[in-house]
Structure 1
């Protein structure tokens, strides 16, 4: 799955610095899904201090890893 995050440099660095992301599902809370981040690309907006991080996510069940 491909996903993009938009934000400031500080916000993007928080996401890009994590090898695993935990996302909550809307319909069956408190169920969580864990994804690994692959091939991240960061693009800067030419006129503002906004950035876009695009990456591929793959769901993982590796419970032994820590983020």
Structure 2
């Protein structure tokens, strides 16, 4: 699955620096799901000081890593 985040340089650097992403889900699903980011790319819009990080995202069940 592909996902994109939009934000300032500081916000994007927080997401880009993490190999795993934890998302909270709806009530009927498991409360948290862990995803791994692959092939991330950052696109800059310098005139607006906004950035976009796009990456492929796959669900993982690797419980041995520290989040």
Confirm or deny a common fold (TM above 0.5).
Answer: yes
Partner of 1:52: 52
Poorly superposed stretches of 4+, deviation over 6 Å: none
2:20 equivalent to 1:32: no
Over the aligned positions, Cα root-mean-square deviation in angstroms equals 1.4
Structure 2 residue runs without a partner (length 5+): none
Q: CA deviation at 1:40?
A: 0.3
Partner of 1:42: 42
The whole-number CA distance in structure 2 between the counterparts of 1:28 and 1:43 is: 35
Instruction: Give the alignment's TM-score, normalised by structure 2.
Output: 0.91
Structure 1 residue runs without a partner (length 5+): none
Instruction: Give the alignment's TM-score, normalised by structure 1.
Output: 0.91
Deviations 1:8-57 (A, max 9, x none): 00000000000100000123376100000000000011411100000000
